Each structure stands twice: as C-alpha cells, then as structure tokens.
Amino acid sequence: VARPQRINREAILAASLDLADDVGIEQLTMQAVADRLDVTPMALYRYVSDKADLLDGVVERLLGEIELPDPKTPPLEQLAAVGQAIRAVARRHPTVFPLLLQRPATTPAAVQARDRVIALLTEIGVPPREVARCERLISTIILGFAASEAAGRFGRHSRKVIDTDYQLVQSVISRLISDLTT
Amino acid sequence: VARPQRINREAILAASLDLADDVGIEQLTMQAVADRLDVTPMALYRYVSDKADLLDGVVERLLGEIELPDPKTPPLEQLAAVGQAIRAVARRHPTVFPLLLQRPATTPAAVQARDRVIALLTEIGVPPREVARCERLISTIILGFAASEAAGRFGRHSRKVIDTDYQLVQSVISRLISDLTT
DNA sequence: ACCTGAACACCGTTCAAGT
DNA sequence: ACCTGAACACCGTTCAAGT
C-alpha cells in the first residue's frame, strides 16, 4: 500500500520558479506547475497548503539565492557585494522579484540576509541604536531599485545607463552610512 | 434603438479602485466590478479592452491622485511635498500601489508628475545632464519606501518609527541633491 | 448603441476513491 | 502513503442575440 513518492515541496518550488522565469508569474498556475512535474494539480496540495503558500515558498527560494559574500573581505566591500547579489537575483527572476517588496522579512532566508547586513553595519561602526533603521533603509532602496530594473520600469534605458544609476545608489548609501558613523 | 448609457470608462475605473481598496487587489475581478455597477461583466468590455487595460487605468488613476504642490512655494519644499503626496496615495490605496513600481512612467499622469519633479530639480540647480538620472533615483527611493510601507513590509513597526525612517529618506535625498548641485 | 445570455477554456480547491 | 477522478465555484473572454 506504500507508493514511491513522485514529488516533494522543494521539487514543486523549483519547478514553480523555473516556470515563472519561463512564462511570467501571471501564468504561474497550479496546473502548469503540476504539468511540469507530470502530476495532477491535486497532488501538489500534499506539500503546499494553497497557492499563497506556494508563492511564499518561491519567494523564500529567491531570498535563498542571494549569494552572501566571503566574511573575510572588508565589510564595506561585503555590503556592496550584497547589493550586487540582490540585483543579480532580480535579473535572474524578473517577474517574481517584485514580490520581495510585499512581504516582511520574517522567513529564515530573509532573516539570514538581514542579520548579515546588520552585523556588517555594526562592524562598520553604525551606532547600535541606528543599525536596524539603517538596514531597513538600505534594503528598501536596493529592493526598490532592483525591482524597478527587473520589471522594466526604467524603460528603454540601456544597461550602461542603469549601471551608472546604480553607482549613484551605492554612493547614496555610502553617504548615509558615513553620516551615521561620524 | 438607442439606449441610455449605464456606465463609462471613468465609472468602471472608480469602481475598480474602490473595490480594490475594500477587498484587496487579489479580489479585483471583472465580475465584482460589474456587480458594483449593476451590470454584467461583459458590459465592461465596451470600455476596457481587457483586464490588463483595466489595471492600467486604475494605476493611471492612482498617479492622478498625487496632489502636486502650489508652484509658488519654494522648490525644496515642493519636492518634499511631492514625496508626502505619494506616501499619502500609497496609504489610501495600499494593495494597488505596488503596481506603480512595475510599469514605466509613460502614461500622461505619470509624465506630468515626473516632469514636475524634473522642473523642480532644474530650478534647484541640478545640472541638466544629471536631472533625469536624479529624478529616476528619487522616484525609485520614494516609490520603494511607500510601497513597502503600504504593503506592510516594515512589519509591526509603529507609524512613529516609520515616519522617522521617512525623515531619513528625505535627508538622504536632500544630500543627493546638494551633492549634485555643488 | 449599449447591454445581456449562453458558452468556452481555464483557474483554485475539496473530497472520496484508487493503488 | 501518495496520487487521481470527478466535481464545484469561480475566473476572463467571445460572440451572437436582444432592446
């Protein structure tokens, strides 16, 4: 009476993310995900409680894809690297990425990334009372920029122009940090 | 053979925005909009080409709601007022607002707001070559912040904490501008 | 000219049934 | 234990038909 397990939660989330990247998040449906896994839609409900849960899982996977930098490099460099890593995720998953701006950073992968940034800011010398606020601001600015870029809000501007925009974002953030540390 | 016209595009968009504010954008369906207008869903298709067009119309309405400040007040004050006006729109329409980050500012209401900010930056003394970039950055930061606030990404933080966060946003923007003008 | 009824393909979700 | 079939309520959209 035991059957081989054909799917699991991770396989479902991986297939969902692939599908969204291929056809856009609008077309991310339970049925299309099931098709990718050669299974009926109803089989998914053993591993995700509903579609909202599936989307949460996909978002969590996105956060997990943020490549955190080597802790041995200088903290300011690490901070810059986190920003670029987030941008890279946005470019890999342009239609899913905007969801990141819509949920609080309370899931494990979100907390991990946030805690890392908080540790870096502390190490750099931002006063403890200001660190949390500083992190909120930086993440908001970076996520907003990356989401805009991914969703094509910058319109017809070339990659070069957008990269230069991002340099300015970085300098604004550096400025913010050095203002707070002095 | 002529019939009284029961609905029109503006009525549809107004009803859609009201509905989204009441029940959330997820529940914004053609049928629910039609119900509000006492009409069948198919009647809407004479005034909107499809649901995407309806959503575009709603977004445009949101942009039109941004209250532009009195042109007689000092430019730096006007700039601050535009930011607060955008935040106010986000708070009035929390579930629809995040859509603003997803589309390029090419529609009339978007262009109007953007041109106003560009004029203000020019007046303040940002070099012409930098004005467009500066506007992109400012709008990205403000939209990202307002969308985060509206979507509840700042989690359980009190309004007071978030207002203080926003003060820091404003100071970051002021810093950016004064760096560019010197 | 403007709206409706009927119809279609699709969606998320449930529950009992199959292996 | 794991998946499927059948079913339900709902969705966006079309098109011919009604007034």
Per-residue pLDDT band at B118 (split at 50, 70, 90): very high
pTM over 0.95: yes
Give the tens place of pLDDT for each residue, B120-136. Answer: 999 999 999 999 999 99
- Summarize the confidence of residues B57-70 as an average pLDDT: 98
> Cβ of A133 and B165 within 8 Å?
yes
* Cα dihedral value B46, B50, B51, B56, nearest 10: -90
Give the whole-angstrom CA distance, residue A106 versus residue A96: 18
Q: Is nucleic acid strand D under 7 Å from A1's C-beta? A: yes
Which residues on chain B place their C-beta less than 8 Å from a C-beta of chain A?
98, 101-106, 133, 136-137, 140-141, 143-145, 147-148, 151-155, 161, 164-165, 168-169, 172, 175-176, 179
- Summarize the confidence of residues B13-32 as an average pLDDT: 98
In this prediction, residue A136 carries a pLDDT of 98
Percentage of chain B exceeding pLDDT 90:
97
Q: Provide the residue-wise pLDDT of chain A in tens; the chain has 182 residues.
A: 678 999 999 999 999 999 999 999 999 999 999 999 999 999 999 999 999 999 999 999 999 999 999 999 999 999 999 999 999 999 999 999 999 999 998 999 999 999 999 999 999 999 999 999 999 999 999 999 999 999 999 989 999 999 999 999 999 999 999 999 98
**C2 nearest neighbour residue (CA to C1'):** B3
Q: Pick from A103, A172, A179: which is nearest to B153 by CB?
A: A103
Q: Is nucleic acid strand D under 7 Å from B32's C-beta? A: yes
Give the tens place of pLDDT for each residue, B85-114. Answer: 999 999 999 999 999 999 998 999 999 999
3-state helix, strand, coil in chain B (%, to 5): 75, 0, 25
Q: Is nucleic acid strand D under 7 Å from B50's C-beta? A: yes
Q: Is nucleic acid strand D under 7 Å from A52's C-beta? A: no
One-letter amino acid at A83 equals G
Q: Decide: B85 and B138 in contact? Cβ < 8 Å.
A: no
Measuring CA to CA, how many Å separate A132 from each of A135, B70, B165? 5, 36, 10
